[in-house]
Chains A and B, each alone.
Chain A
């Protein structure tokens, strides 16, 4: 969708057709290509698996199960894939600018999901939920989460990373780990004081439109799509298009790209480097927050511990796509989401493995990529300077 290394080109007003192609059609087309490509590839793998192990358990024909579950697995894979992609964007943007893994990003995601809950709960307590239209509700919740997470990310950068810029590499990393752990318990303490409970359930069940799944008939099977899955995908697509426009089509975005290419030179060209870094953290954090709120609406219940596993998986997605590369984050997130969904659906039939090892799988992918292709699918190999 966008590439920090692409030429910084002019942003002088293009024709409306060109604009529409560059900022709307092209990104959507790219997402479609990624989704269809990854889904087709995994479907093929699933069929091959079904051919290799026709009956992994007595009386269960794997081919039938694959046929039955395929649409559902693809839909849930796309949903979670978009969430991973949005979190991965935060890792990748910050890495592009500071060459540093923002370990606390998973907690920024968590704060987004908690803020989303708080907003929705407050609205519910005030009695607004039934009367508000779904679109307005989702927009308000997601925007609130984006704002809170974005500001939090800026604050974290200011307090814990900026004083350490230029220190040996381990120093900001350890500080980031500290922030991550601190945030978990801080949110826990806040929820303990205000609600005396950590399991925060989005008040979605009171809503009529959430309870009715959309039924989609495919052959003789019907597939249920939950409305929240629609929300996640739609919300992700809209925000991703907005990000593409922001980074590639605006002056501020050009500043961010310039800083990520060469911080010193960008400073010499009159770009306020610190402001660009704050902006990058804000954008990355806002994406994490949006992902958190959408994730929360999709799964229903969040806790202060909810950030860790999605954070690790999104980091894996960012590395899979090539860290520092925004298109790569999207590709990596969607691929990982679909892979995970397929594994969740099909590993059940193999009793020796089972679903219990799904989380281990993400780690294994991460380790394998880092060993065999550390630059990721779309990244370019960068030699170390001495």
Chain B
């Protein structure tokens, strides 16, 4: 017995040691990605259970960058793997089935928004519930100048061609930043709850204005929305590349042009996200980022230490807004349709849920949150609906409990219950893990403040001191 257990222990120890060796971990990672790709590749769209299977496997692949980044392998290897994933695996899967590409682009769009909101909420601690307004500003900036709807721009011939797209990304950044400053100015004095409600009000106001600005002069085409929004022209080498890959791998791609267009948007989105990550990281590690942290932790103390409060708060609003503006331009071009419905409060809340789930204040956390929440919303819920409908059509009966799927109420369609998911995520995260799934260290310390306070007070009372002069007690926490 003793010999056997020691052998067991030995093999366990060897296993653990192997898991620390970069070569072993690296090959495991490669195998992991390959298996996920192979499974996804073998799924058959005509299968009855396709929605179910793809819901199980696709997240495995999309979450792999986070596993790679957390794995104990060398930096260059992580870089190679992530790059291969982003530039080879996902485009390949997209060529096989463009719905995957569509989903990844949506994830990228929301990741950009989550990174932007993370600046405002996570870095500077300003809870903005109307963040989607800046996204709307960016989207409308591009849509108004290219839409085929009979707006004042179209009638007067002020439209621009699709090739102005890249210029308009910068214009979207600029306009959204201006709007961010304009909305930020009046709310500078507010904090916490009031700021949240007022920004919510601003978000709704932008939506109502977009909804009503078809009279007296038609700018936004009102509730009908702007259709036929322009797209950037696909560079010839991208289309040629798609054709070359098609013939090399023996794929048969039905419509090459829409696919290359989607691929173009995918690469643009990846590039923008890359720029946003770099900017956010540089900002976080700069005097500006530290000033934001100071404001977040204690506004009064920050002023006392000489942080220029007005300028820093406005900068946070403007930076967050400008990210959303750039993403908005891409969104408008990708959807080719922009209407006020796309910019409702639920969108702001979904972005907030992303930042909260990932962890306020962390860049990797915001990305993870965006992936998880977007997949829950656009993959899991949607596929659940598809699966129920597919089963309803063949009159499927769940065995043991003998339940007919066709008795499922038509109004109880999971795809329309995103509020339930977002709400539940927010509550559960706040109660059990307020610092998020990938917590940022400083933020985690702040959220654990309550326990430290008690320790502080105990120490001070034991030492017979008076009340600690500078305790971690926040003015509101004292009363609440």
**Segment at the interface with A among B16-24, B160-168, B276-284, B416-424:** B416-424
A179 touching B427 by the CB < 8 A rule?
yes
B353 to chain A minimum Cβ distance, whole angstroms, is 8
Give the dominant DSSP class at A's interface.
Answer: helix
- 0 or 1 for each of B187-198: is its CB under 8 Å from A? (1 = yes): 101101110111
Task: Tell me if A374 is interfacial: C-beta within 8 Å of chain B.
Answer: yes
Contacts of A163 in B (CB 8 A): 431
B423 touching A182 by the CB < 8 A rule?
yes
CA distance in complex: A120, B434 (Å): 42
CA distance in complex: A354, B212 (Å): 10
Given A356-B208, A363-B201, A371-B189, A174–B430 Cβ distance below 8 Å?
yes
Task: Tell me if A31 is interfacial: C-beta within 8 Å of chain B.
Answer: no
Contacts of A357 in B (CB 8 A): 208, 212
Contacts of B346 in A (CB 8 A): 181
B424 touching A367 by the CB < 8 A rule?
no
Per the 8 Å Cβ criterion, residues 307-350 of A in contact with B are 308, 312, 315, 319
B212 touching A185 by the CB < 8 A rule?
no
B209 touching A181 by the CB < 8 A rule?
no
CA distance in complex: A125, B293 (Å): 59
B426 touching A178 by the CB < 8 A rule?
yes
Given A98-B480, A193-B412, A182–B204 Cβ distance below 8 Å?
no
CA distance in complex: A386, B478 (Å): 10
Q: Select one of A173, A185, A360, A374 contacting B209, CB under 8 A.
A: A360
Given A177-B129, A193-B412, A366-B197, A182–B419 Cβ distance below 8 Å?
yes
CA distance in complex: A100, B46 (Å): 52
CA distance in complex: A185, B419 (Å): 6
Per the 8 Å Cβ criterion, residues 147-197 of B in contact with A are 186-187, 189-190, 192-194, 196-197
A166 touching B447 by the CB < 8 A rule?
no
A100 touching B480 by the CB < 8 A rule?
yes
Contacts of B447 in A (CB 8 A): 167-168, 171
Closest A residue to B477 using CB positions: A166
B204 touching A386 by the CB < 8 A rule?
no
Contacts of A384 in B (CB 8 A): 300, 475
Closest B residue to A190 using CB positions: B412
Task: Tell me if A263 is interfacial: C-beta within 8 Å of chain B.
Answer: yes
Contacts of A183 in B (CB 8 A): 423
Contacts of A101 in B (CB 8 A): 193-194, 196-197
Closest A residue to B125 using CB positions: A170
Task: Tell me if B240 is interfacial: C-beta within 8 Å of chain A.
Answer: no
Give the dominant DSSP class at B's interface.
Answer: helix
A108 to chain B minimum Cβ distance, whole angstroms, is 14
How many of A's residues come within 8 Å of B, CB to CB? Answer: 60
B197 touching A315 by the CB < 8 A rule?
yes
CA distance in complex: A319, B475 (Å): 20
A359 touching B352 by the CB < 8 A rule?
no
Task: Tell me if A169 is interfacial: C-beta within 8 Å of chain B.
Answer: yes
CA distance in complex: A331, B180 (Å): 34
Question: Most chain-A Cβ atoms within 10 A of its Cβ — which of B200, B205, B422, B480?
Answer: B480
Contacts of B446 in A (CB 8 A): 168
Q: Select one of B194, B431, B475 contacting A386, CB under 8 A.
A: B475
Closest B residue to A386 using CB positions: B300
B421 to chain A minimum Cβ distance, whole angstroms, is 8
Closest B residue to A185 using CB positions: B420
Given A173-B127, A351-B216, A386-B300, A263–B423 Cβ distance below 8 Å?
no
Per the 8 Å Cβ criterion, residues 341-363 of B in contact with A are 345-346, 349, 352, 356
A385 touching B478 by the CB < 8 A rule?
yes
Contacts of B190 in A (CB 8 A): 370, 374
**Number of chain B interface residues as a range:** 35 or more
Task: Tell me if B410 is interfacial: C-beta within 8 Å of chain A.
Answer: yes
B426 touching A174 by the CB < 8 A rule?
yes
Task: Tell me if A269 is interfacial: C-beta within 8 Å of chain B.
Answer: no
Contacts of B187 in A (CB 8 A): 367, 370-371
Q: Select one of B352, B410, B417, B449 contacting A174, CB under 8 A.
A: B352
A169 touching B476 by the CB < 8 A rule?
yes
Closest A residue to B216 using CB positions: A352
Contacts of A354 in B (CB 8 A): 212, 215
Task: Tell me if B103 is interfacial: C-beta within 8 Å of chain A.
Answer: no
B450 touching A166 by the CB < 8 A rule?
yes
Contacts of A356 in B (CB 8 A): 208, 211-212
CA distance in complex: A191, B215 (Å): 38
Contacts of B424 in A (CB 8 A): 178, 182
B449 touching A181 by the CB < 8 A rule?
no
CA distance in complex: A242, B301 (Å): 45
CA distance in complex: A202, B412 (Å): 22
Q: Select one of B129, B409, B430 contacting A178, CB under 8 A.
A: B430
Contacts of B197 in A (CB 8 A): 101, 312, 315, 366
B417 touching A185 by the CB < 8 A rule?
yes
CA distance in complex: A330, B284 (Å): 46
Closest B residue to A305 using CB positions: B419
B198 touching A367 by the CB < 8 A rule?
yes
A181 touching B417 by the CB < 8 A rule?
no
B216 touching A385 by the CB < 8 A rule?
no
A104 to chain B minimum Cβ distance, whole angstroms, is 9
- 0 or 1 for each of A194-207: is its CB under 8 Å from B? (1 = yes): 00111000000000
Task: Tell me if B27 is interfacial: C-beta within 8 Å of chain A.
Answer: no
CA distance in complex: A188, B421 (Å): 13
Task: Tell me if B411 is interfacial: C-beta within 8 Å of chain A.
Answer: yes
Task: Tell me if A180 is interfacial: C-beta within 8 Å of chain B.
Answer: yes
Task: Tell me if B474 is interfacial: C-beta within 8 Å of chain A.
Answer: yes
Closest A residue to B301 using CB positions: A386
- 0 or 1 for each of B445-459: is its CB under 8 Å from A? (1 = yes): 011011000000000
CA distance in complex: A185, B420 (Å): 5
CA distance in complex: A308, B446 (Å): 32
13 contacts between A and B (CB under 8 A): A168-B447, A170-B192, A171-B447, A173-B196, A181-B349, A188-B417, A197-B411, A352-B215, A367-B201, A371-B187, A374-B190, A386-B301, A386-B475
Q: Please name the 3 residue pairs, one residue from A and one from B, whose CB atoms are nearest each other, closest first.
A: A178-B426, A182-B423, A181-B423
